[in-house]
Amino acid sequence: MRTLFHSPLSPASRTVRLVLGEKRLPFEAIVERAWEKRPEFLALNPAGEVPVLVEDNGLIVPDVYVICEYLEEAYADIPLLGRTLAERVEVRRVVAWFETVFAREVSGRFIDERVMKRLSGRGNPDGGALREAYASMRPLMKYVNDLAENRNWLGGHFLSLADFTAAAHLSCLDFIGDIDWAKVPAVRDWYAKMKSRPCFRPLLNDRVSGITPPDYYTNLDF
């Protein structure tokens, strides 16, 4: 059985879970507490980070970027990068923006302060770091709202890896209640479409000890 080592509130892990689901590839999801640095897990990925995909044939594929590129090549019947070179460049650009700029300035900060510190026993959230994340969030969410307002999907005219990457990051923030959807109505409408996809349902069922998502987290009409 194909196996994915993941963390429920890791955007990278959620991206891979969404892509596997969209491509209709069954898998067993195993929650990995990466901060514990299990020798067995480090043998799979010396970087010690989730996600890590292990194929039926034993092939080990670590890292969200490597996994998604591998899945696109190995299971190309449902393409998520686009058909033309220009389409693929734009999808990869939006993906890279979320995985670098948005993760560094917003999602990574919120998740580390509100979730990972609690789970790994590293103390309480840093108020200063959270204020910086909120300040960074406003212009970056405005950019995402502009994309959603002017395109059918975030990466262009078709559903792509850009949408699943964005949905992974935003769903983590939604889980901890850090998005004011009223300020980004186009993003809210786009996210409602993403939440309604079958591949998204397992994410809506995620629960993390000590953290209760807002009531609207599971609602398709929110």
Going 150 to 155 to 161 to 167, the CA torsion angle's sign is negative
Residue owning tokens 């996210």: 191
pLDDT > 90? residue 83: yes
Q: What percent of the chain has pLDDT over 90?
A: 98
Q: Please report which confidence band the pLDDT of residue 220 belongs to, taking 50, 70 and 90 as the band edges.
A: confident
Q: Indicate yes or no: pTM above 0.95.
A: yes
Q: Which domains are present in the chain?
A: 3-74 (3.40.30.10), 85-203 (1.20.1050.10)
Q: What is the pLDDT of residue 180?
A: 97
Q: Are strands 52-54 and 3-6 parallel, antiparallel or unpaired?
A: antiparallel
Q: What is the pLDDT of residue 205?
A: 96
Q: Are strands 60-62 and 28-31 parallel, antiparallel or unpaired?
A: unpaired
Strand partners, 208: 211
Q: What is the pLDDT of residue 222?
A: 80
Alpha-carbon separation of residue 139 from 75, 98, 145, 170, 184 (angstroms): 36, 13, 10, 15, 11
Q: Are strands 52-54 and 60-62 parallel, antiparallel or unpaired?
A: antiparallel
111 and 11 in contact (C-beta within 8 Å)? Answer: yes
Q: What is the pLDDT of residue 221?
A: 83
Omega prior to 202 cis, within 30 of 0:
no
pLDDT > 90? residue 9: yes
Q: Please, what is the average pLDDT of the chain?
A: 97
162, 163, 218: which is closest to 190 by C-alpha?
Answer: 163
- As given in the structure block, the two tokens for residue 9 are 């509130």
Residue owning tokens 């109505």: 185
